[in-house]
Amino acid sequence: TGGARLDGARGFGRAIIPSSDGENSNGADSDSADSDGADGDSDSGDSDSADSDSADSDSGDSDSGDSDGADSDSAGDEPKAGLIKFDQRRFTVAEDAGVAVITVERSKGEDGEVSVAFHTFDGEAVAGSDYTAVDGILTWADGDGSAKIFAVPILDDDEAEGVETVVLELADVTGGAEVDPLRGSAVLRIEASDGGGDDGERSGVIKLAERAFQVLESGALAVVTVERSKGESGPATVSYATHPASAEEGVDYTAVSGTLSWDDQDGASKTILVPILDDDLTEGNENLTVELSDATGATLDRQRKASLLTIVDDDSTECVPNDATLCLHGGRFRVEVAWATAQGATGTGHPLALSDRAGLFWFFDPGNVELLIKILDGCRKFDSFWVFFSATTDLALEVTVTDTVAGVSKTYRNSMGQSARPVKDVTTFATCK
């Protein structure tokens, strides 16, 4: 479209995949960790150099200037047609304001006529309930460097919802301009105006404490925690129920359902107990869903009304591959992916093995791959296994990697509505010996 270029980090998605310990890298991986591994595989000949994604490379992460006030325009060969960007990365509007005004700028050049498309996407806010979705095109004439605006209608309601977000995106630039790599997307925060006063005067929001829970198969009971937050005014209730996924009701767990209740000014967490049925079969991990519904006296959080409960098979130390489990390094490492949509749907990723060290995951269609992961053997020189993965999705994710020999497990989480980042972890699995 007119010679335009879209930045790869901002032109597509709306999700950020942060690692839970902040170990992320945008650098290219040379796989050199395996050149020193005990298995003798080598991707880089006899080189003794460390993997190019080594921890020192993180200091150059391009997202380090992620402050609202920082201008991402950098020196170099900017197009004369200019850079198109939001004038800030976070906008804020009150729920009762009626409309949010969003400003888009053209900088670093004004040659020729250019245009850019803008779109809105659900974050925590839901189109039709919290705001009205908008799409359109902004146009600049030759020599025009003025700021342009578009409006997002905000829908007020009587629910005490706290802060909800809308993702704003620029795309399809024309005329030789570029979308700024750090300001091509932004977040609109809608601040609730319902209830007034402090949390003690609001009814609150009910949600599951985690997007995913785990329990050992021999653990007898899984404890699932439910929270009431952002208000405690008046009594509240919520119904709950379990639903089978890969785990079979009556064989792997006992189905439960019921109602949780809170008194007026009660903000304590409540628990759901799910009986787990142990057996001697080597089945791999199995999953079920715990779902909340029919909240009264408070609002049910749309993002956390359902969570995945994973029953971890402890009958065998080795990973057992199945439709929800990827096994790497001869079954030593188990990889599982859980996802959730903005509408509250949940599920597990389906693995596609590429080799003994790497694989893919898809969610809805085998032709639409969502995540690539690899685990490298850096034991000989670095005394650690290295985990790298990158996702191309805007869904909330939990990626769990388990060293079945050492009994070490780590879950990497992704928040909805952020731009995707590759994840690198070279320290957690120092389990070579």
Q: 337, 361 in Cβ contact below 8 A? A: yes
Of these ranges, 17-21, 134-138, 308-312, the one predicted with the greatest mean pLDDT is 134-138
Separation CA 352–CA 360 (nearest Å): 5
Whether 2 is covered by a domain: the verdict is no
Q: Where are the alpha helices (DSSP H) in 180-234?
A: none
Which of residues 116 and 75 earns the better pLDDT score? 116
Task: Please check whether residues 334 and 280 belong to one and the same domain.
Answer: no
pLDDT at 50: 36
Percent of the chain with pLDDT over 90: 43
> 223: which residues sit within 8 A by CB, 6+ positions away?
213, 215, 271, 272, 273
Task: Please check whether residues 179 and 222 belong to one and the same domain.
Answer: no
Separation CA 387–CA 376 (nearest Å): 7
- Per 3-state DSSP, the chain is made up of helix, strand and coil in percentages (nearest 5) of 5, 45, 50
pLDDT at 399: 92
Name the least confident of 21-30, 70-79, 226-235.
21-30
Whether 162 is covered by a domain: the verdict is yes
Task: Please check whether residues 30 and 128 belong to one and the same domain.
Answer: no
Confidence of residue 383 (pLDDT cuts 50, 70, 90): confident
Q: What is the DSSP letter of 86?
A: E
Name the least confident of 50-64, 258-272, 360-374.
50-64
Confidence of residue 407 (pLDDT cuts 50, 70, 90): confident
Task: Please check whether residues 243 and 311 belong to one and the same domain.
Answer: yes
Q: For residue 374, what are the β-bridge partners?
A: 358, 388
Strands 385-391, 369-377: pairing is antiparallel
pLDDT at 410: 86
Separation CA 204–CA 125 (nearest Å): 16
Name the least confident of 113-117, 209-213, 315-319.
315-319
Q: Which of 191, 210, 229 lies at the terminal end of a domain, its last residue?
A: 191
Separation CA 1–CA 173 (nearest Å): 7
Taking the alpha carbons of 314, 315, 317, 321 in that order, is the dihedral positive or negative?
Answer: negative
Whether 72 is covered by a domain: the verdict is no
Whether 68 is covered by a domain: the verdict is no
Give the phi and the psi of residue 16 in degrees, each rounded to 5: -115, 135
Q: Which of 156, 191, 226 lies at the terminal end of a domain, its last residue?
A: 191
Q: Residue 305 belongs to what domain range? A: 199-316
pLDDT tens digit sequence for 345-361: 889 999 999 999 999 99
Whether 70 is covered by a domain: the verdict is no
Separation CA 420–CA 18 (nearest Å): 8
Task: Please check whether residues 263 and 281 belong to one and the same domain.
Answer: yes
pLDDT at 32: 47
Q: 231, 202 in Cβ contact below 8 A? A: yes
pLDDT at 422: 87
pLDDT at 210: 86
Whether 1 is covered by a domain: the verdict is no
Confidence of residue 132 (pLDDT cuts 50, 70, 90): very high
Q: Domain count of the chain? A: 3
Task: Please check whether residues 207 and 303 belong to one and the same domain.
Answer: yes
Which of residues 427 and 199 earns the better pLDDT score? 427
Q: 410, 389 in Cβ contact below 8 A? A: no
Residue in 301, 275, 270, 303 with CA at minimum distance from that of residue 288: 275
Q: Mean of the per-residue pLDDT values for the chain?
A: 79
Dihedral Cα 95, 151, 91, 111, nearest 10 deg: 180
Separation CA 176–CA 115 (nearest Å): 9
Which of residues 122 and 9 earns the better pLDDT score? 122
pLDDT at 282: 64
Task: Give the CB-side neighbour count of residue 109, counting CA atoms within 13 A.
Answer: 22
pLDDT tens digit sequence for 262-290: 999 998 999 999 999 987 776 667 889 99
> 272: which residues sit within 8 A by CB, 6+ positions away?
223, 224, 225, 226, 240, 256, 258, 260, 290
pLDDT tens digit sequence for 287-340: 899 999 999 999 898 878 999 898 876 655 678 899 999 999 999 999 999 988
Whether 367 shows a pLDDT value over 80: the answer reads yes
> 29: which residues sit within 8 A by CB, 6+ positions away?
51, 52, 53, 374, 388, 424
Mean pLDDT of the 100-123 span? 92
Task: Please check whether residues 258 and 322 belong to one and the same domain.
Answer: no
pLDDT at 241: 97
pLDDT at 288: 93
Whether 51 shows a pLDDT value over 60: the answer reads no
Task: Please check whether residues 282 and 225 belong to one and the same domain.
Answer: yes
Mean pLDDT of the 249-255 span? 93
pLDDT tens digit sequence for 169-197: 999 999 999 999 888 999 999 987 654 44
Separation CA 331–CA 336 (nearest Å): 13
Separation CA 379–CA 426 (nearest Å): 11
pLDDT at 380: 86
Residue in 11, 318, 22 with CA at minimum distance from that of residue 180: 11
Whether 71 is covered by a domain: the verdict is no
Q: 299, 205 in Cβ contact below 8 A? A: yes
pLDDT at 360: 97
Task: Please check whether residues 105 and 151 belong to one and the same domain.
Answer: yes
Task: Please check whether residues 213 and 228 belong to one and the same domain.
Answer: yes
Q: 156, 95 in Cβ contact below 8 A? A: yes
Task: Please check whether residues 286 and 369 belong to one and the same domain.
Answer: no
Strands 178-179, 83-86: pairing is parallel
Whether 278 is covered by a domain: the verdict is yes
Task: Please check whether residues 206 and 310 belong to one and the same domain.
Answer: yes
Tokens of 356: 């003994």
Which of residues 268 and 32 earns the better pLDDT score? 268
Q: Tell me the CA distances in angstroms from 320 to 71, 328, 399, 404, one per residue in order.
A: 49, 10, 17, 11
Q: Which of 316, 350, 369 lies at the terminal end of a domain, its last residue?
A: 316
Q: 155, 178 in Cβ contact below 8 A? A: no
Which of residues 56 and 250 earns the better pLDDT score? 250
DSSP string, 136-183: EEEEE-TT----EEEEEEB---S----EEEEEEEEEEEETT-EE-TTT
pLDDT at 94: 86
Residue 152: give its domain's CATH number: 2.60.40.2030
Mean pLDDT of the 88-102 span? 89
